[in-house]
Structure 1
C-alpha cells in the first residue's frame, strides 16, 4: 500500500520499505522546485522498494522519469540505494557530501573478500571469540548489498544553499552516523506557521524516539583514529541551535521541539558513557564491553550481524572516553583491553 503524506508547502513524504529490517521503511521526501521535483534520499535498492517509490511518485502527480535531482543525507543503502535507478530513469543529478562520496568510491573499488579480511582482523582486535569469527573465515566472497552504490555527480557543500530554484535549502554538516552525513534546513516559513526557523530534513541524525547507531568509520586503508561519537555530539548541538519549527526525519515520524530532543540525546550519551566507566572498573576488550552494555534485548538474543554493529558502537564509546581522558588502553594487553582512569 502506497503511503504518501503531504507536509504542506510543496513537501511530501513517501514510505519506502526496507526489506527484512525492524525499521520498516525510509521516509523519502519529495520537494517541489521551479525546475521540477527533487528527492531527499531514495530508499533501499530492492524491487518492492522501487515499485513503492514509483507508485508514491505517481500518487504525487509525478514519476521517476520527471525527477530533477536527488539529495542524499548519507551513503547508507536505505537512503542512497535507489539513487542510481532514479538517475537512469530521469537523468537526475545526485548530490552527496564529499566525505560520504569518498566512501561510495572506495566501496565500489573494494572487492568483497577485502571486506571479509578486514572485518576478521577488526573483530580479532576487538577480542571477539573464535566461534564468532569462524564464519567470516569460511565464507566465500560474494556480492554484498550496497557494494555498488551510485557515484554522486554533485557535491553538497556545508553551509551553502543547494541550487534548487524557488527554494532555500541549506546544507548542515552533521557527522557522526557517517562522516559525511548532512541535514538539510529548509529556510522557509512553516506552512502551518509553527514557531521556529523553517523545517529540518534530519536524515538519521535526529530521530524522534530512537538513537542512531554511532559506530566507527570503517576504512580498510585508513588508520586514522576517528572520534565518531564526539563528532555526533558536536553535530547535535549545532542542530539544536538552528531551532527548526519542525523536524522531518528519515525514519518514524515528523516532530517538533528539536531542542528538547537534542537535550535528551546528549543526556542519553552522557549517561551511557558514565555507565561504561562503571563497567570499565576492570579491564575489558571492546567485545567484552559490548556483551555487558545495555541493548534493546539481551546479548544472547542479538543476531550475528547486529553483534558486529554493537561492537563497533562499543568501540566508538571507548574512543570518546579515551579522548576525554576518562579511560585508557592497558599497556601490553592482547587483544587490547581498556580500563577507567
Structure 2
C-alpha cells in the first residue's frame, strides 16, 4: 500500500482507499497554513477510508480535530465523500465551486426515485436494450433509489471563486475553474516557488481528476434532471486543458496515481487522444447512423464491451454521448430526424 508522501514546503499527500475500485485510492493533499492544516479533497465515505485518513494525518504531524478547512476539487464521492465526517470531527469549513455545490444539493434533496427515473429515461433515449434497463426498473419499483452514492455528501459552506486566491493564511493558492469532468471541477494553483526549485513558471498545481499522469478522466454528460439545456462537457474539458497548459506549473499533484512534471506535455497527449477519438467516431457514424449505445459498444475501451461491468456501461454511454455532442457542436455530425432512440450521422 502507498504511504504518506512529504512533497516539501508544507504539502503532503495521504492515500485514502476507495473500496472495490481499481483506482485503489484517492490522494488527499494536506496543505499547512498559519491557521492549521487544510485538506484538498477527503476520500470515499467509508470507515476504513476515514481511519486511513486519520492515520495519514498523524504521519503528517497533525490530527483530524486540527483540520482548519477542506477544499474540494469536485463533487464525486471519492473526493467529497468524507467531508462531512471531517467537519464533524474538526469544525472545519468546506469549500467547493458553486456548480458542483448545486449538484450536491440536488442529489441530497431529490425525491427517492428521481435519479433512477432520470437514468432509465436517459439510457432508453440512448438506445439501451431492455435487458440493461430491467434491473433499473426493478430498483425503481422496489424503492431502492436511496442506495445511490453521494446522498450523504456534506453541503459546502463556502464557495471557491475562480480566478481568486483562496483565503488561506500564509499561502498563495489560486482557484482555476476547469469544467469537463464535472461542471464545477477546479484545480488549485499554489503560486509559490517549488521547494526543490523545479523549472516552470507556476509553482505547483493540485489537479484533482482534471490532469492525471496516465489516466484519461471520464468526460460524460452533466446530469441534471430539471435542466434541459444541451451542454458540451468535452468542449469544456478541452478548453480547460489548454488553460492549464498555458499555466505551466513546475509540478502537478493529482488526486490519483502520482505527482509529475511537464503539464503541457500531458495536456498535448490528452488533446491528441480526444482528437483521434472524435475522428474515429465520425468515421463510424459516416458508415451508417448509430445510437449513443451503439457508438459506445463500438468505441475502444480498456477491455472488450462484453467484459465491461454493468455500471461502467452507463458511464461509457455517457462518454459516447459527450463525444457525439462535441461532433454536433463542431458541425461534423447531426441527429437523424425521426429516429427514436435518436441516431447520429456524420455531416
Coarse TM-score class (shorter-chain normalised): over 0.9
Per the normalisation by structure 1, the TM-score is 0.99
2:188 matched residue in structure 1 = 184
Q: CA deviation at 1:2?
A: 7.0
Q: CA deviation at 1:111?
A: 2.7
Contact (CA 8 Å) 1:2, 1:55: kept in 2 or not? no
One of 209, 212, 215 as aligned partner of 1:207 = 212
1:279 matched residue in structure 2 = 284
1:252 aligns with 2:257: yes
One of 143, 149, 152 as aligned partner of 1:145 = 149
Contact (CA 8 Å) 1:116, 1:141: kept in 2 or not? no
Unaligned runs of 5+ in 2: none
Q: Number of aligned pairs?
A: 341
Question: In 2, distance between residues paired with 1:323 and 1:82?
Answer: 37
Q: CA deviation at 1:112?
A: 3.3
- Deviation sequence 1:189-222 (CA, Å, 0-9, x none): 0000001110000000000001000000001111
Taking the TM superposition and a 5 Å limit, the aligned residue runs for 1:113-192 are: 113-139=113-139, 140-142=142-144, 143=146, 144-192=148-196
Question: In 2, distance between residues paired with 1:95 and 1:187?
Answer: 19
1:334 matched residue in structure 2 = 340
Taking the TM superposition and a 5 Å limit, the aligned residue runs for 1:320-331 are: 320-331=326-337
Question: In 1, distance between residues paired with 2:52 and 2:143?
Answer: 31
- Deviation sequence 1:237-282 (CA, Å, 0-9, x none): 0000000000000000000000000000001000000000111021
- Deviation sequence 1:78-132 (CA, Å, 0-9, x none): 0000000000001000000000011111111013311111111111100000010
- Deviation sequence 1:41-66 (CA, Å, 0-9, x none): 00000000000000001111111110
2:68 matched residue in structure 1 = 68
Question: In 2, distance between residues paired with 1:151 and 1:303?
Answer: 31
1:40 aligns with 2:46: no
4+ residue segments displaced more than 3 Å = none
1:242 aligns with 2:244: no
1:311 aligns with 2:317: yes
